[in-house]
Structure 1
């Protein structure tokens, strides 16, 4: 074996040893709408840094309650900007660590091709029995859906048809399984690479609801965890940003 090859192999193994020595794990709470992109980002993050992100998905409102009650999360990717700010004020998050990682887009979606028109007129026609949305008290996408219906003057008329999911993932499930003919979901759940994966959809104009600014924050439990710091840094880099954009989030 040549001296040059030995030197190269030694350097390679030293890098692996160093990477293993400094690798850490971070417990991450992630809003349900961000499930698909976050799983991809977490896989890349582990490959690129050696750190591992342990992901839990759910509603922003429920995560807030769990964090206040001592849940062992170290980083929180919320579906709004209010909840992380509230955690900061309550000294449950690291001051100055909060930033907007995505701006969500709301879509009215049906698993049936051609069922939802590109102007959302299907809502006014009302020829459906069930309209799915996330619980507005727990999920920002549900609140945006309710605000949209208010702006359209349709809330009172359509409220008897509401099927409320605990989070946006459950609202999506109601529609995808046919338990609701259509529903309000996150655009990220039904598109990839800028294309609709199945069914038919109307992209709700942003003017119909407040911006869905999604903020991330390091929680106090993650203050000294290098993996928490590394993940937040990684989310701002081009590789992660490209994945986020591919799933239909606005910059």
Structure 2
């Protein structure tokens, strides 16, 4: 596998989505302390819309940082002052709850899906059994293929499960480019420096992606579930608590649906 950091450092690739771990802050004028929210990178576009709607309705601000769920768990355990975590995999919330870093078990807020994607100039044909990917490999025409790092990004872990199930994982080892989180994997998958990748459907659906690439939603039976869960930290403020409740509202659920997420039973 090739390190994304090393590989793309020299390219100076412009971050098309601005999806790295960068705060996203609502703009309402309010002197109250602004709670810091940690969120899985795959919900970037959906959560940005939800934050805007929340601010419009309440006048309250939240500050969101996006990254991989596994990295956020480590940061929270080392004292990072986040008041809420929206994880891409519910096991991370369970891990934090077990050692007393959350208020209870939290709430599942969405069910994620994977997508096979390719830049518009890519020779990769998209199909749910990945026969196009197999054909490129067999012809020696696949140079690079992007997924999120499976060691700490749930969508990368599920991509690895899918590739193993289809018998492609071992053969892809020398071709893989690993994003530090799902959003980086999406950037690299359409950068023109890869032939494609497996990324969250929620990112592939976004207009910013569709302007540059193609996507195909992949069957959910090829990997374990992506049950996305959120929880408040013990010292969460009233604003964070209100945002937590808003994320469970019909308005927020409608936005998640718009970006390709399934919804848990209320």
The Cα of 1:192 is off from its aligned counterpart by: 4.2
Partner in structure 1 of residue 59 of structure 2: 50
How do 1:1-251 and structure 2 match up within 5 A? Answer: 25-96=34-105, 98-112=106-120, 115-119=124-128, 120-125=130-135, 126=137, 127-192=141-206, 198-222=212-236, 225-251=237-263
Q: CA deviation at 1:250?
A: 1.2
Residues 190, 213 of structure 2: 8 Å contact kept: no
Contact 1:192 1:248 in 2 (8 A): no
Question: Is the 1:190–1:198 contact (alpha carbons within 8 Å) kept by the matching residues of 2?
Answer: no
Query: Contact (CA 8 Å) 2:144, 2:176: kept in 1 or not?
Result: yes
Does the 8 A contact of 1:99 with 1:216 survive in 2? yes
Partner of 1:15: none
Any idea what SS the aligned residue of 1:63 has? helix
**Separation of aligned partners in 1, 2:69 and 2:166:** 26
Distance 1:149 1:240, change over 3 A: same
> Which residue does the alignment assign to 1:16?
none
Q: Is the 8 A contact 1:103 1:249 kept in 2?
A: yes
State the shift of 1:196 in Å: 5.1
CA contact (8 A) 1:116 1:201 kept: no
Q: What TM-score does the superposition give when structure 1 sets the normalisation length?
A: 0.85
Offset of 1:221 from its aligned partner? 2.8
Matches of 1:139 and 1:238, distance apart in 2: 28
**What SS class does the counterpart of residue 201 from structure 1 fall into?**
strand
Q: Is the 8 A contact 1:190 1:197 kept in 2?
A: no
SS at match of 1:221: coil
Rg larger in structure: 1
Q: Is the 8 A contact 2:150 2:160 kept in 1?
A: yes
Q: CA RMSD in A?
A: 1.9
- Any idea what the Cα deviations from partners look like across 1:69-108, whole Å, max 9, x if unmatched? 0001001001100001111111000115x01111111011
Q: Do the aligned residues in 1 keep the contact of 2:116 with 2:126 (CA within 8 Å)?
A: no
Q: Where does structure 1 lack aligned partners over 5 or more consecutive residues?
A: 1-18
SS at match of 1:44: helix
Aligned length: 228
By percentage of residues, which structure has more helix?
A: 1
Comparing 195-204 and 106-115, the one that deviates more: 195-204
